Structure 1
């Protein structure tokens, strides 16, 4: 049976499924150039094969902070308009994995602290999703985490313009998952968008949220 809305899954069930279905084994695709991340979209998969031949791997980690409120939310950021790449876009807290990071989880927690001041004492990591590849050579490993309410944020204005929360039920409702397409070297590839109020969530962020929906909300 397929459940179409996260509203039919309680907070307890959502986090419980996450702990059952996710873990902390690092997928080989994060670092191995011979292992290509897959998306399920033939055009995107072909793009990732081409990118893997042309560009070095750029491993990255992001945190998917699911705030355990009575109606759970996902904490997202709006990147600074002054950044050299992906300026102004909606993103998860995260960034490149540094050599000083013991694990991708450590990288995600560090970036969340640096970007928005999210104290890791409020963060209960649940596990990794699959590696998500991008057209810029990034291989992103998302960490799903339960975030205890009561935290305060301190925005790093050099990297982040704003931080805000979106209801988990909205993001996990496939009715809100718009599927668009664009061309890459003569090939058509698909991408997701999830507009919310004045926010336009798309690209890797929307794609990762779609993966979260497929892993946790489908039964």
Structure 2
């Protein structure tokens, strides 16, 4: 049997299920922009953070998978106007991060859970805005009909997995936040600028599955 193409959903699933790099719940310091800001992120461990989950939706498109992103509305209280994965806080009735991520994806962009197969998690991402985020990796089959929730999502777009997993497209940048210089990744794609938390999660995905 021949191997699946490198950036297909099938190969993504295989790599997600066999990812390495230490226990997922303990290895957040070893990946993404946590490595760029070790002092800042370590200080977050002692804070009371709210648990959240995001869905990383990898669409099965044959040899070249696509990843779904959203642009958040400018009126949201936190992370307004930013590029994001569907997701949000884990509610008391959510039995797992997977359930929370699926619920939020349906609420935000109308992605019905029947089209989604959750396959693995990435390490937690500790956000300076007060959240401990669990990225839930998933494979999505075509047939869905997306509709943005206007209260939360301004637009929806897709980016080839091959573009996101190419480290040449990962640019480092910095800004001063609360008097501290913070380093982060930027990934410009066509008219979109993926940066901040979302780019940090994408970078972790690359490091654990494709580096």
TM-score, with length taken from structure 2: 0.87
Residue number in structure 2 paired with 1:124: 117
Alpha-carbon shift at residue 12 of structure 1 (Å): 2.5
Residues 163 and 107 of structure 1, relative CA distance in 2, 3 Å threshold: same
Gaps of 5+ in 2: none
The answer as to 2:6 corresponding to 1:13 is: no
Partner SS for 2:172: strand
Taking the aligned partners of 2:167 and 2:203, their CA distance within structure 1 comes to 8
Alpha-carbon shift at residue 10 of structure 1 (Å): 4.2
Partner SS for 1:190: strand
Higher mean Cα deviation, 200-209 or 174-183?
174-183
Higher mean Cα deviation, 77-86 or 110-119?
77-86
Residue number in structure 2 paired with 1:61: 53
Taking the aligned partners of 1:115 and 1:150, their CA distance within structure 2 comes to 17
Residue number in structure 1 paired with 2:77: 84
Residue number in structure 2 paired with 1:4: none
CA-to-partner distance for each residue in 1:39-65, whole Å, 9 max, x for gaps?
555562211233344x42111100000
Residue number in structure 2 paired with 1:50: 43
Higher mean Cα deviation, 37-46 or 139-148?
37-46
In the alignment, is the contact (CA less than 8 A) between 1:79 and 1:159 conserved in 2? yes
Taking the aligned partners of 1:183 and 1:82, their CA distance within structure 2 comes to 23
CA-to-partner distance for each residue in 1:36-92, whole Å, 9 max, x for gaps?
942555562211233344x42111100000000122100000001111111110000
Taking the aligned partners of 2:152 and 2:17, their CA distance within structure 1 comes to 31
Taking the aligned partners of 1:184 and 1:52, their CA distance within structure 2 comes to 18
Partner SS for 1:136: coil
Alpha-carbon shift at residue 188 of structure 1 (Å): 3.7
Higher mean Cα deviation, 182-191 or 104-113?
182-191
* Equivalent residues in 2 for 1:192-203, closer than 5 Å: 192-203=185-196
One of 118, 127, 140 as aligned partner of 1:134: 127
The answer as to 2:147 corresponding to 1:149 is: no
Residues 73 and 43 of structure 1, relative CA distance in 2, 3 Å threshold: closer
Taking the aligned partners of 2:104 and 2:57, their CA distance within structure 1 comes to 12
One of 100, 122, 125 as aligned partner of 2:93: 100
Residues 100 and 199 of structure 1, relative CA distance in 2, 3 Å threshold: same
Gaps of 5+ in 1: 1-6, 30-35
Residues 10 and 153 of structure 1, relative CA distance in 2, 3 Å threshold: closer
